[in-house]
Amino acid sequence: MRSQRMSWAVGGVAVLSLSLSACGGSGFDDTDTADSQASSGPASIKVLIASSGDAETKAVTDASGAWAARSGNKATVSQAQDIGQQLGQGFASNNPPDVFYVDAARFATYASAGSLEPYGDSFEGKDDFYPALRQAFTHDSELYCVPKDFSTLGLQINTAAWSKAGLTDADYPTTWEELAAVAKKLTTGKRVGLALGDTRDRIGAFMVEAGGWVTNKDATKVTADSPENLKALKFVRSLLADGSAKYPKQLDSGWPGEAFGKQKAAMTIEGNWIAGAMKSDYPDVTYKTVPLPAGPAGTKGTLAFTQCWGVAAKSRHKAAAIDFVKAMTTKDNQLTFAEAIGVMPSRQSAQADYVARFPQDKAFIDGAAYAQAPVNVAKIDQVLADFDTGLQSLPGADPRQILKRLQKNAQAVVGQ
């Protein structure tokens, strides 16, 4: 998970066709078989996941097998080549998988199109899921699906560079001013103080810390062009302008974690997925993760990246599909997935157990209390991509103009 939770491979039409054929014919289910199963006997459901790799696929497959053995039903788990494309084809042909991953950034588009079964409000134990994550999957005041896991952002610090600069634990930054000061102190001829991602998926955290965001809580009003967001972008611009922060491309890196691992940066802002990359690619780099510093008014903020277990509105096995989701989201299964994949449980009741197992991730999971999920507006992808382009033009661009453009473009989408 580098740009968000993970990077998904984009397959071509030939690969897509082979993937769909492997699931049965030209879609995910056989109509005659599905109809007969819906009327009598055990259900056979299709599950489509956007897996981060073999470990995740195995974890979901194993949990699915246990559910099948207990329930008497059957679940066939398929790893998507391009889950957006495959779901689109399934929805268009009225033959989607029964259960599938839904990224928060795509949720509103699917929900507004009527593609999702809104099972969330009647889901047993729904209040155990973190409020911010539930909000990410709420459309027209209705909870459609429950979050399967999540990740947040924290501040990673190279402990060797930190000590060499004469800094101690007491110097961990808790405010923007302190962050700016330590970033400057850590900047040398060979290393920049902070490697910062050049999109809303990282810079957006400063907007939240300033008390702003792209929309209001229920995504009914665009709030991009605000004094709070302007403060955030001006602060980011100041870090970039004085050279104490740089974007990955300026550091010959594909993402901030790479620059941090190569020790081209003493600090970075990334999610808990960075642990896997550091362990496999940069095992000799010692580092610590602390919470992101608070904004000007003392507001804490971070970003949440999450997915839910979607159930198709046109599934012929909804009861079995929802029972499958219940099994996948038990506390025990969520902790098992955390061990196997590196994600954090979306159930609040699992927090203490998670911290006991992964004390180094406490800053990440504590962020759930004040995290902001992705923009929950249908068909806003191009608008947000344009916003990223504006952010990438900092420090030379005018933050006011970037936000005014975002406000105008986002309003056009929200007003549809």
Percent of the chain at pLDDT above 70? 90
Across the chain, mean pLDDT equals 90
**CA 91/CA 336 separation, integer angstroms:** 31
**Angle subtended at Cα 202 by Cα 55 and Cα 297, rounded to the nearest 5 degrees:** 130
Summarize the confidence of residues 347-351 as an average pLDDT.
97
Reduce the secondary structure of 246-267 to three states and give it as a string: ECHHHHCCCCHHHHHHCCCEEE
pLDDT of 230? 98
What per-residue confidence (pLDDT) applies to 41?
Answer: 61
Query: Tokens representing 7?
Result: 């990077």
Tell me what pLDDT residue 75 has.
Answer: 97
- Give 209-237 pLDDT, tens digit per residue: 999 999 999 899 999 999 999 999 999 99
- As a whole number, mean pLDDT of residues 63-70 equals 97
CB-based contact 64:78 (threshold 8 Å): no
Q: Does position 36 have pLDDT exceeding 60, yes or no?
A: no
Residue in this structure with the two tokens 């740009």, named with its chain if needed: 3
pLDDT, tens digit, for every residue of 147-191?
999 999 999 999 999 999 999 999 999 999 999 999 999 999 999
> In this structure, what are the phi and psi dihedrals at residue 351, rounded to the nearest 5 degrees?
-60, -45
Axis-axis angle for helices 381-392, 399-414 (nearest 10): 180
Query: With 60 as the cut, is the pLDDT of residue 29 above it?
Result: no
| pLDDT(3) > 90 | no
| pLDDT at residue number 38 | 45
Q: Is the pLDDT of residue 23 over 80?
A: no
- Structural domains present in the chain: 13-151+306-372 (3.40.190.10), 152-303+377-414 (3.40.190.10)
Q: Give the mean pLDDT of 65-84.
A: 96
Mean pLDDT, residues 271-297 taken together: 95
Q: What pTM did the predictor assign?
A: 0.88
Q: How far apart are CA 135 and CA 218, in angstroms?
A: 8
Total residue length of the chain: 416
Q: How far apart are CA 26 and CA 123, in angstroms?
A: 32
In which band, very low, low, confident or very high, does the pLDDT at 52 lie, cut at 50, 70 and 90?
confident
Rounded to the nearest 5°, which phi and psi values hold at 325?
-60, -40
Average pLDDT over residues 55-62: 94
Place 53 in a pLDDT band, splitting at 50, 70 and 90.
Answer: confident
Provide the pLDDT for residue 406.
Answer: 98
Residue-level pLDDT at 294: 98
Mean pLDDT for the stretch of residues 290-297? 97
Q: Is the pLDDT of residue 416 over 80?
A: no
Residue 359 neighbours by CB distance under 10 Å: 8
Give 3-state DSSP helix, strand, coil % of the chain, rounded to 5: 50, 15, 35
Q: Is pLDDT of 12 > 60?
A: no
